């Protein structure tokens, strides 16, 4: 076979010559090959420089009679493998008397307690401790018992211990998980910031002292309370579900917002002066919300609870709240309650039931199994819509002012009053269809003023069973009996608008 000569493109030859020339140039300008004088020293870092923290082991942190390992000097520590503590011992013990500032990195490993073991991590004295990044399981007492000045715990899982994290000092707990802890998942006796933690199937969930902050946490399936905070605390964005007692137990003057309580005993149990905003309570076996005196509830909803949707103490303010399909009253409140733009619908008993001196403005109460609005003495009810309730639409006992409301198709009276009430400018339609005698407006006492109401297609239009009242400027049409009024009342002339000459005339058409 004949071989052909290899032809190399000129550009490649030129590049090769240039490269060779460059190498020669580098060779000519290179420095001396002889090393400098003096001893040769290592350029590598020491082990201490590579890992300045202290490993927890029998050499660095030897234990004692009740601990596998004991930390007796301040510093940053880490574990290098799982640790199992036998009966009668804790895994790691910290003595703040000689080690006042300690950090422990569990390094992704697990502290495991055998039957009869004590604590996963314990500390005593007055110091600071931080624990991060690992798991603690199976200890006979506390997963972590921190008797300290202050602490921080993050990214730690504690399971199957008698108690989870028990702390005496101020602290921060974040991104932690507690499950199947027999007692409290997290208990802190001082100010604590807790965020993004979950307590699942524990005795109690997350319990912290006053002035604490709890955000974005969950408590599920606790035997007792789900999330509990002391006075002056803040709770945001949390969920409590299927807990055996209250979902949220709140001290006085607590601020709570954006939280959900579902299928607990009581959804929210709040102390005096608390503020609840944007919270939801569903399917609890007792009350949806139980609040003490002088509380404020804004944009909260209670649905499908087995007792009252809202059960409130004196001087409570409700704004834009709703109660739906609860097995008792939608709202029940003590004296001096105020309701603004609230809705109560399809509850088994009354839509609203209140003691003396309550105020209702712009509220709706429809299709409840009892009365629409029951306000005892000295109530002011205005601008409300009350329809299709089984009982009386609006009831005011003594000294009430009932004005500019709409009642429609309530089975008993549309509006019923006793003594010294003003019933002015209401629109009542189709009330009183239940068996018996009912009125669109019924008056059973004295010293009442019934004025300027528009009434249509009821059983009785104006129905007064007692004397001593003023009845003026009302219009009535299409009732079984338009005016059913006993003697002894001051009643404006009854007739048509075309023939009326008195400015106080009542119109029948």
Rounded to 5 degrees, φ, ψ at 23 are -65, -40
Q: Mean pLDDT check: name the lowest of 1-5, 76-80, 142-146, 365-369.
A: 1-5
- DSSP code, position 285: S
Q: Which residues contact 284 (CB under 8 A, 6 or more apart)?
A: 247, 261, 262, 263, 264, 265, 266, 267, 305, 306
Tell me if 493 sits within 8 A of 504, measured CB to CB: yes
Mean pLDDT of the chain: 93
Q: d(Cα 91, Cα 472) in Å, to the nearest integer?
A: 85
Measuring CA to CA, which residue among 244, 181, 251 is closest to residue 210?
251
Q: Which residues contact 26 (CB under 8 A, 6 or more apart)?
A: none
Mean pLDDT, residues 296-314 taken together: 99
Q: How many CB atoms lie within 10 A of CB 361?
A: 15
Q: d(Cα 110, Cα 106) in Å, to the nearest integer?
A: 7
Predicted confidence band at 51 (pLDDT cuts at 50, 70, 90)? Answer: confident
Tell me if 325 sits within 8 A of 303, measured CB to CB: yes
- DSSP code, position 39: -
Cα Rg of the chain, angstroms: 38
Q: How many CB atoms lie within 10 A of CB 352?
A: 32
Do the bridges between strand 198-200 and strand 460-464 make them parallel or antiparallel, or are there none, so unpaired? unpaired
Q: How many CB atoms lie within 10 A of CB 493?
A: 13
For the cut 50, the answer to whether the pLDDT of residue 29 exceeds it is: no
User: What's the pLDDT tens digit per position in 434-489?
Assistant: 999 999 999 999 999 999 999 999 999 999 999 999 999 999 999 999 999 999 99
Residue 48, H or E segment: helix 47-50
Q: How far is CA 72 from CA 64, 83, 92, 151, 216, in A?
A: 11, 19, 11, 17, 36
User: What's the pLDDT tens digit per position in 307-349?
Assistant: 999 999 999 999 999 999 999 999 999 999 999 999 999 999 9
**What is the per-residue pLDDT for 50?**
65
**What is the per-residue pLDDT for 144?**
98
**What is the per-residue pLDDT for 235?**
99
- DSSP code, position 368: -
């Amino acid at each position: 076979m004949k071989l052909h000569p290899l032809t190399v493109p000129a550009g490649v030859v030129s590049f090769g010559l240039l490269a060779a020339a460059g190498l020669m140039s580098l060779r000519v300008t290179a420095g001396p090959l002889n090393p400098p004088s003096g001893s040769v020293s290592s350029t590598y870092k020491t082990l201490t420089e590579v890992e300045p923290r202290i490993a927890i082991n029998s050499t660095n942190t030897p234990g004692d009679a009740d601990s596998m390992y004991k930390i007796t000097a301040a510093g940053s520590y880490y574990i290098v493998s799982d640790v199992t503590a036998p009966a009668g011992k804790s895994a790691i013990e910290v003595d703040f008397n000689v080690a006042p500032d300690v950090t422990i990195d569990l390094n992704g490993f697990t502290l495991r307690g055998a039957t009869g073991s004590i604590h996963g991590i314990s500390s005593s004295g007055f110091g600071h401790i931080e624990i991060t990044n690992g798991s603690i399981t199976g200890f006979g007492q506390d997963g972590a018992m921190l008797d300290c000045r202050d602490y921080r715990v993050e990214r730690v899982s504690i399971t199957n211990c008698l108690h989870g994290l028990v702390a005496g000092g101020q602290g921060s707990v974040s991104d932690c998980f507690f499950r199947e802890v027999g007692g409290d998942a997290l208990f802190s006796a001082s100010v604590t910031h807790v965020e993004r933690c979950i307590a699942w199937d524990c005795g109690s969930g997350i319990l912290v002292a006053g002035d604490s902050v709890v955000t974005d946490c969950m408590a599920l399936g606790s035997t007792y309370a789900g999330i509990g905070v002391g006075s002056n605390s803040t709770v945001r964005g949390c969920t409590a579900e299927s807990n055996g007692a209250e979902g949220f137990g709140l001290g006085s003057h607590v601020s709570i917002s954006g939280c959900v309580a579902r299928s607990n005993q009581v959804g929210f149990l709040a102390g005096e002066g608390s503020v609840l905003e944007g919270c939801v309570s569903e399917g609890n076996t007792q009350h949806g919300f139980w609040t003490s005196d002088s509380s404020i509830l804004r944009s909260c909803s209670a649905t499908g609870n087995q007792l009252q949707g809202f059960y409130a103490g004196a001087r409570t303010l409700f704004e834009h709240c709703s109660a739906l399909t609860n097995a008792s009253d939608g709202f029940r409140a003590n004296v001096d309650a105020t309701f603004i733009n609230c809705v109560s619908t399809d509850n088994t008993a009354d839509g609203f039931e209140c003691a003396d001196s309550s105020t209702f403005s712009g509220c709706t109460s429809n299709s409840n199994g009892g009365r629409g609005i029951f306000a005892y003495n000295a109530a002011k009810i205005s601008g409300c819509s009350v329809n299709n309730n089984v009982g009386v639409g609006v009831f005011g006992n003594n000294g009430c002012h009932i004005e500019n409301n709409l009642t429609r198709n309530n089975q008993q009276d549309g509006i019923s009053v006793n003594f010294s009430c003003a019933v002015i400018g209401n629109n009542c339609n189709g009330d009183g269809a239940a068996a018996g005698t009912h009125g669109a407006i019924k008056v059973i006492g004295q010293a009442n003023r019934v004025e300027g109401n528009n009434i249509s297609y009821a059983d009785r239009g104006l129905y007064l069973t007692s004397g001593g009242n003023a009845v003026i400027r009302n219009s009535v049409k299409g009732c079984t009996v338009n005016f059913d009024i006993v003697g002894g009342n001051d009643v404006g002339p009854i007739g048509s608008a075309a023939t009326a000459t008195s400015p106080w005339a009542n119109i029948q058409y």
